[in-house]
Amino acid sequence: MEKVYGIIMAGGGGTRFWPLSRKGTPKQLLNLSGKEVMVNEAIDRLTRVAAYEDIYIVTNCEQADKMRAVTTGRILPERILSEPCARNTAACIGYAALKIMRERGDGVLVITPSDAYIRDEEAFGRVLGVAVRTASSSNKLVTIGITPTFPATGYGYIRYRDAQGEVKPVVRFVEKPTRKKAEEYIRSGCYVWNSGMFVWKASVILKKFKRLLPDLYAQLLKIAASFGKPEESRVLEEIYPELPSVSIDYGIMERSKDILVIPGEFGWNDVGSWDMLGVLHPQDEAGNVVVGNAVNVDTQNTVIYSSGKMIAAVDVSDLIIVETPDAILVCPKSKAQDVKKIVEELKAEGREELL
């Protein structure tokens, strides 16, 4: 069995959980479930196929210190790779793959985001196992799809050819669809959500980079030439900002044949905004999700999150109410995505202390 490495992509800004998420404390560093910080949950899940000491985290310099602190005891400090700036997922994955290839040797890379919730971890581990074996034996690119539970318009989809077995050949990747298209996809039964989870050998993906993203690859090689040398961080800081910003989906997946997808059903949820807090916490009879100190009178379908002060909600419905040590958010659940507008507004007003 080939060596397996985990790569957790944890560079996201995560403005949609403002005011709890901040520039230096994005969603993956929050403990939204009340149990464990999200990135640690992602790490622990990966240990079903990779050892703790073989798990890498790619983050950015603004979060790196906090990331090291939060993952202490799980992740070796030298496994935390810090991008000088965000250059999308292709750069992130290419950088980590080269790092592992050069310093540890070839192996199967299991790449996941840092901030999704997975209810059935056992089923997830089983799917990862299948993906690792497939990537190892076939030298192909493998991705994990999510069997859709509703016609989501916020995710990309993957069309697959219905074949025998758990592993399906990918027909094509499709962008976030309209509602109507999404409903068609679900009816067809041959589409899964693109979860952003990938499994492949380091050597295989690097060959893809060389062929499909030669400019990016050439730049990454310059960075790799400095690995382990005194100038490593200087070179990284010089070259990284110049890397082309392209997603792995657009740069490699959509332009490759012979990709395999494993449709997975393990209660995946990206917990993308406050309205999804009910994924992590029980609801009361009136549909309220209450975390922390609160009193309700005649309140329904409302998400209440208090980090300290008592929140009294009287006769409101379908709201999000969040309290943190320095700010309060009130927003309809249906506009949970618009929370980022507040962050933009605060940025425009120069209120750095609240970003």
Q: Does 176 bind its own copies (CB under 8 A)?
A: no
If the CB atoms of residues 140 and 333 are measured against its own copies, the closer one turns out to be 333
Q: Which amino acid is at 285?
A: E
- Choices 8-16, 62-70, 215-223, 339-347 (CB under 8 A): range interacting with its own copies: 339-347
If you ran DSSP here, which 8-state letter would residue 95 be given? H
Pairing of strands 259-264, 80-83: unpaired
- Choices 40-48, 61-69, 213-221, 330-338 (CB under 8 A): range interacting with its own copies: 330-338
Encoded tokens for 240:
């990284």
What's the CA gap between 31 and 27, in Å, rounded? 8
Q: Does 184 bind its own copies (CB under 8 A)?
A: no
Instruction: Taking the CA atoms of 114, 101, 146 and 212 in sequence, report the sign of the dihedral they define.
Output: positive
User: In Å, what is the CA distance from 274 to each residue of 19, 134, 279?
Assistant: 10, 36, 10
- Choices 57-65, 134-142, 233-241, 317-325 (CB under 8 A): range interacting with its own copies: 317-325
The one among 239, 335, 347, 355 contacting its own copies by CB under 8 A: 335
If you ran DSSP here, which 8-state letter would residue 182 be given? H
If the CB atoms of residues 57 and 322 are measured against its own copies, the closer one turns out to be 322
Beta carbons within 8 Å of 255's beta carbon, 6+ residues apart: 212
CA atoms within 13 A on the CB side of 221: 10
If the CB atoms of residues 18 and 200 are measured against its own copies, the closer one turns out to be 18
Q: Does 298 bind its own copies (CB under 8 A)?
A: yes
Q: Does 19 bind its own copies (CB under 8 A)?
A: yes
Minimal distance in Å, beta carbon 319 to its own copies? 7
If the CB atoms of residues 84 and 332 are measured against its own copies, the closer one turns out to be 332
Encoded tokens for 50:
């990779």
Q: Does 50 bind its own copies (CB under 8 A)?
A: no
Q: Does 349 bind its own copies (CB under 8 A)?
A: yes
Q: Does 122 bind its own copies (CB under 8 A)?
A: no
DSSP H helices in 82-178: 88-103, 121-138
Q: Does 14 bind its own copies (CB under 8 A)?
A: no
Q: Does 345 bind its own copies (CB under 8 A)?
A: yes
Instruction: Taking the CA atoms of 305, 19, 267 and 56 in sequence, report the sign of the dihedral they define.
Output: negative
Q: Does 327 bind its own copies (CB under 8 A)?
A: yes
Beta carbons within 8 Å of 72's beta carbon, 6+ residues apart: none
Q: Does 330 bind its own copies (CB under 8 A)?
A: yes
Q: Which residues bind its own copies (CB under 8 A)?
A: 18-19, 295, 297-298, 306, 309-316, 319, 321, 323, 325-332, 335, 338-339, 341-342, 345-346, 349, 351, 354
